[in-house]
């Protein structure tokens, strides 16, 4: 890379063996600013921290903060790392939330999980854990078994009052405060949005998440790589297969193996099917939220057909756990192709019926157009990815910009919107279902034969008859189950295009069978942080649609 | 002697109307579930009785035996009385509706109307609009913010659309020159072509739209739409008190269906070889089916869009309609 950043900070950084740029803390903000303004790295994918307390290699300091940025073409990813020294019993880094909106919540999460303070952050408080929570759970000296009982609800007035003051409301006697959620019929999971209403107009909104936080990342640090796969099912439970794939794909990247071609095609076919059901859920729920009840069944019946197919193939309906590190769990069964064709037919029919009900319906247009608008620039700044970003007119799709699994060889289009409103977000999803069907059809045509798991004793399980009949097989199985797949030391980030956007895993391995640290980049998280801005100025009825159209899935949002 | 006979007859009629319409309202909920189910490619209630027909009884038992919860901070007398207002006004409004043509039983002529008052239409509209107090008081006494929002939505919706339905009816009433529904029905006894809908298509359309709004049907079912305001004014209600709102709502649907049939669609006049009684049943069934069909097909509007539609589109159209009718009459 020959960039302004490299010229300007020539002697101030060094690149470690993982390809991560290591910077001094004092230059961090200037470096990120330079990357953003001169090298067009406008997209902050994620911020996370690493606690090297128990790492088996000496490091300059116990904590490090990692920044992942993408450029405007979304082809290049740059990883920055700063080591954080303790100063007067405090850990702190300069906040970059004034440069990137998405840094706001990402930094709050780092503070919450690791206890690293961000200087000049506008509102540094916990985001996933409860406000009464004591300690920072992802620190290595926090025992995984130490549960805490938290009882008080956050009234969120500390965030609400400044927002109201910004809007010129000095007193709030005339406003009605209302909790939309966490237990609201349209909150799509346990998501709380706290709004200040004038009549039914939303003057100001604040959202609180974490109701479904179950310490996914802490659990991962205490399980072997193969044991994590069922956990990933529960991230975005609408498309479990894609989460499996994203995780397996990242670990395979660290192991530096390429899965057999047949397994790659199986991942594409089942993954696209998964993307379709993910979109179907979003569309069906979004349309029901505006009272278009019938669409729910038109769109959910095909989803049910896909679930029948998936349960036949994987043995589970919702939480499939179908991927394995190095391949997939089972090959297609006999007659899979016919079942798949029936599924696709029912999807096309259901989608056609639903579209014919709403596509030219004036009420539907009035309810969705110019509601919850976010323009392209804001969407990038706020860390949107996937259909939500494409609806704003940015043609960013990891399947096109950073192709994996032969996606470059398939003929498909990226659906983009123009305005970035609820209408675009829904319509982009309708179109993506069509494109996914195209991909599935092409992939089925050229589906190669062969193995479905890499033939490597250190990665994949031996055949069952070997396990039962000879000692080598038994030992092999035992070692893999007991110790896990040994992943080489390193720090690695890889992402795939999941139903909601860029689903990435940042994994730090210490060479053992369990990840030293694992961080998910859930596509919902940045979208959720932008929700209050989308709601303000709208009405209660719009808020439900805006939330639905972003397709926030609490499972991956709260982890 | 004669007066006592009239009183007895009226009481019997009132009891019959109450029983039959309450039954019809309950049956309408079953039909709604079935019709919606078939439009949505599912079966609807199937397990209780043949094709789920006894689901009605099951629901009734459930509603009657469910615990009646009264929130601690609610204004208790109002909270308790509010649900009664809904069915009470809905059934009172039916006093002036002629359900069927006159018929003779054992040499005794029965007019199937509880009271043929000369301002029938006015009476129905007036009493029906009192029904608005049910959701309003329920919402305001519940001390629940969702209920309050629901109550506010109810008032804006019903008050505004009453203006439209009133103005829409004015034009046909100018043609007829009477407010009695029997007179209105008799005005259209000249066969299919004498139906008022041909002379007043716009008024028919406006009245039908207002009917959707006043009975809280899609696309105007805003006052208790689950995804937005949980359950609106009924959020804190349970058991039979909640059920009373529903009976009132469905009774209102039937009233509107009767009004549309009698005022615009030729009422209970016989048609071809079909007797009048069957004819009006067909008409109200068709109109109720329309309610259900629209619910299955359309999303619903936002409160401000509903107000825009009412005050900026429908009301001016109604006024224009009256003006044109007036000019034609002169």
Please report, rounded to a whole number, the percentage of residues in chain B having pLDDT higher than 90. Answer: 3
Nearest by CB to B302, from A294, A298, A541: name it. A541
Contact assessment for residue A483 and residue A371, using Cβ atoms and an 8 Å cutoff: no
Whether B296 has a pLDDT exceeding 70, the answer reads yes
Confidence of residue B45 (pLDDT cuts 50, 70, 90): confident
Cis peptide before A347 (omega within 30 of 0): no
Residues of B in contact with A366 (CB under 8 A): 301-302, 305
Compute, in degrees rounded to 10, the torsion defined by CA atoms A246, A249, A255, A257. 180
**Contacting residues for A333 by C-beta, under 8 A, at least 6 apart:** A312, A313
Nearest by CB to B302, from A293, A361, A539: name it. A539
Query: In the structure encoding, which two tokens stand for residue A528, read together?
Result: 């959720």
Residues of A in contact with B152 (CB under 8 A): 199-200
User: Hey, are the CB atoms on B302 and A542 less than 8 Å from each other?
Assistant: yes
ipTM: 0.85
Distance from CA of B230 to the nearest CA of A (A): 6
Residues of B in contact with A426 (CB under 8 A): none
Half-sphere exposure of residue B31: CA atoms within 13 angstroms, side-chain side = 15
Half-sphere exposure of residue B214: CA atoms within 13 angstroms, side-chain side = 33
pLDDT at residue B70, as a whole number? 87
Residue B271 is given by DSSP the state: B
Nearest by CB to B297, from A184, A200, A294: name it. A294
Q: How far is CA A84 from CA A102, A145, A441, in A?
A: 21, 27, 50
Place of tokens 């397996």: A248
Whether B131 has a pLDDT exceeding 70, the answer reads yes
Poorest-confidence range of A145-159, B242-256, B267-281?
B267-281
pLDDT at residue A556, as a whole number? 87
**Contacting residues for A36 by C-beta, under 8 A, at least 6 apart:** A42, A69, A99, A100
Nearest by CB to A540, from B218, B229, B298: name it. B229
A184 class by beta-carbon count within 10 Å (0-12 exposed, 13-18 middle, 19+ buried): buried
Could you tell me how many CB contacts below 8 A there are between chain A and chain B? 79
Domain boundaries, chain B: 70-329
Mutate to test the interface with A, among B156, B209, B212, B228 (most CBs of A within 10 A): B228
Query: In the structure encoding, which two tokens stand for residue B136, read together?
Result: 């309003």
Whether B1 has a pLDDT exceeding 70, the answer reads no
Alpha-carbon gap, residue A441 to A340, rounded angstroms: 10
| Partners of A506 in the β-ladder | A493, A519
Cis peptide before A267 (omega within 30 of 0): no
Residue range A430-442, pLDDT digits in tens:
999 999 999 999 9
Confidence of residue B117 (pLDDT cuts 50, 70, 90): confident
Nearest by CB to A200, from B225, B227, B303: name it. B303
**Contacting residues for B219 by C-beta, under 8 A, at least 6 apart:** A291, A363, B212, B294, B298, B299, B300, B301
Residues of B in contact with A540 (CB under 8 A): 149, 228-229
Half-sphere exposure of residue A186: CA atoms within 13 angstroms, side-chain side = 29
Alpha-carbon gap, residue A208 to A203, rounded angstroms: 17
Pick out chain A residues at pLDDT < 50: none
pLDDT at residue A1, as a whole number? 54
Nearest residue in chain A measured CA to CA from B38: A294
Residue range A159-194, pLDDT digits in tens:
888 888 888 887 777 888 888 878 887 777 788 888
* CA Rg value for chain A: 23
pLDDT at residue A459, as a whole number? 86
Residues of B in contact with A539 (CB under 8 A): 302-304
Put simply, whether B304 touches A (Cβ < 8 Å) is: yes
User: Hey, are the CB atoms on B296 and A293 less than 8 Å from each other?
Assistant: yes
Nearest residue in chain A measured CA to CA from B220: A291
């Amino acid at each position: 890379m020959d960039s302004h950043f490299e010229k300007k900070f020539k002697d101030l950084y060094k690149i470690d063996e993982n390809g991560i740029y290591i910077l001094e803390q004092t230059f961090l903000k200037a470096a990120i600013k330079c990357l953003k303004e001169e090298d067009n790295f406008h997209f902050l994918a994620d911020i996370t921290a690493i606690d090297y307390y128990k790492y088996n290699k000496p490091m300059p300091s116990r904590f490090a903060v990692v920044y992942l940025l993408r450029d405007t073409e979304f082809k290049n990813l740059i990883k920055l790392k700063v080591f954080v020294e303790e100063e007067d019993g405090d850990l702190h880094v300069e906040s970059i939330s004034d440069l990137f909106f998405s840094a706001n919540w990402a930094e709050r999460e780092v503070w919450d999980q690791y206890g690293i303070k961000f200087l000049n952050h506008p509102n540094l408080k916990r985001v996933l854990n409860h406000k009464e929570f004591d300690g920072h759970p992802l620190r290595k000296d926090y025992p995984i078994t130490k549960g805490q009982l938290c009882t008080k609800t956050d009234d969120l007035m500390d965030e609400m009052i400044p927002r109201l003051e910004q809007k010129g409301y000095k007193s709030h006697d005339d406003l009605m405060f209302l909790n939309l959620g966490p237990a609201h019929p349209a909150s799509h999971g346990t998501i709380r949005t706290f709004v200040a209403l004038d009549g039914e107009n939303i003057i100001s909104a604040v959202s609180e998440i974490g109701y479904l936080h179950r310490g996914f990342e802490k659990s991962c640090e205490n399980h072997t790589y193969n044991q994590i796969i069922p956990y990933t099912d529960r991230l975005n439970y609408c498309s479990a297969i894609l989460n499996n794939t994203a995780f397996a794909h990242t670990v395979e990247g660290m192991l530096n193996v390429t899965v057999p071609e047949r397994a790659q095609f199986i991942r594409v076919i089942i993954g696209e099917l998964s993307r379709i059901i993910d979109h179907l859920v979003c569309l069906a729920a979004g349309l029901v939220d505006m009272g278009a009840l019938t669409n729910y069944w038109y769109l959910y019946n095909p989803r049910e057909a896909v679930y029948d197919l998936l349960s036949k193939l994987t043995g589970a309906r919702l939480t499939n756990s179908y991927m394995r590190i190095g391949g997939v769990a089972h090959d297609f069964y006999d007659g899979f192709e016919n079942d798949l064709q029936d599924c696709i037919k029912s999807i096309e029919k259901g989608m056609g019926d639903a579209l014919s009900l709403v596509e030219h319906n004036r009420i539907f247009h009035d309810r969705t157009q110019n509601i919850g608008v976010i323009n392209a620039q804001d969407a990038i700044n706020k860390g949107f990815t996937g259909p939500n970003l494409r609806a704003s007119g940015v043609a960013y799709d990891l399947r096109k910009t950073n192709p994996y699994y032969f996606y470059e060889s398939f003929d498909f289009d990226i659906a983009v919107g123009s305005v970035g409103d609820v209408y675009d977000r829904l319509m982009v999803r309708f179109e993506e279902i069509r494109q996914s069907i195209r991909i599935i059809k092409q992939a089925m045509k050229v589906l190669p034969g062969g193995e479905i798991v890499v033939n490597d004793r250190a990665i994949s399980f031996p055949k069952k008859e070997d396990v039962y009949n000879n000692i080598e097989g038994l030992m092999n199985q035992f070692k893999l189950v007991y110790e896990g797949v040994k992943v080489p030391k390193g720090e690695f980030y890889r992402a795939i295009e999941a139903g909601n956007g860029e689903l990435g895993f940042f994994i730090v391995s210490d060479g053992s069978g369990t990840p030293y640290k694992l961080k998910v980049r859930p596509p919902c998280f940045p979208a959720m942080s932008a929700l209050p801005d989308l709601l303000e100025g709208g009405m209660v009825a719009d808020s439900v649609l805006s939330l639905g159209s972003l397709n926030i899935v609490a499972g991956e949002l709260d982890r | 002697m004669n007066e006592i006979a009239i009183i007895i007859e009226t009481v019997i009629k009132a009891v019959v109307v109450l029983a039959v319409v309450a039954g019809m309202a309950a049956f309408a909920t079953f039909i709604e579930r079935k019709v919606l189910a078939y439009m949505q490619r599912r079966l609807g209630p199937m397990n209780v009785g043949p094709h789920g027909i006894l689901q009605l009884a099951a629901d009734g038992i459930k509603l009657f035996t469910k615990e009646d919860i009264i929130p601690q901070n609610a204004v208790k007398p109002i909270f308790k009385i509010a649900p009664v207002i809904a069915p009470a006004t809905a059934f009172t409004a039916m006093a002036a509706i002629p359900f069927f043509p006159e018929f003779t039983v054992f040499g005794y002529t029965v007019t199937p109307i509880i009271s043929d008052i000369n301002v029938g239409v006015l009476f129905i509209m007036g009493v029906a609009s009192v029904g608005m107090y049910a959701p309003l008081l329920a919402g305001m006494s519940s001390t629940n913010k969702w209920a309050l929002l629901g109550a506010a939505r109810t008032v804006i919706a019903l008050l505004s659309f009453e203006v439209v339905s009133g103005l829409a009816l004015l034009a046909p009433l100018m043609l007829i020159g009477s407010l009695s529904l029997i007179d209105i029905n008799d005005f259209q006894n000249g066969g299919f072509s004498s139906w008022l809908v041909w002379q007043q298509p716009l008024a028919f359309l406006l009245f039908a739209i207002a009917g959707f709004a006043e009975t809280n049907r899609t696309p105007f079912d805003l006052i208790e739409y689950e995804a937005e305001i949980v359950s609106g004014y009924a959020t804190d209600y349970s058991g039979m008190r909640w059920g009373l709102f529903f009976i009132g709502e469905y009774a209102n649907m039937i009233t509107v269906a009767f009004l549309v049939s009698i005022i615009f669609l030729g009422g209970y006049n016989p048609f071809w070889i079909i007797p009048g009684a069957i004819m009006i049943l067909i008409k109200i069934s068709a109109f109720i089916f329309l309610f259900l069909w629209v619910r299955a097909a359309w999303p619903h509007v936002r409160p401000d869009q509903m107000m825009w539609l009412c005050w900026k589109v429908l009301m001016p159209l109604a006024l224009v309609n009256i003006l044109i009718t007036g000019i034609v009459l002169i």
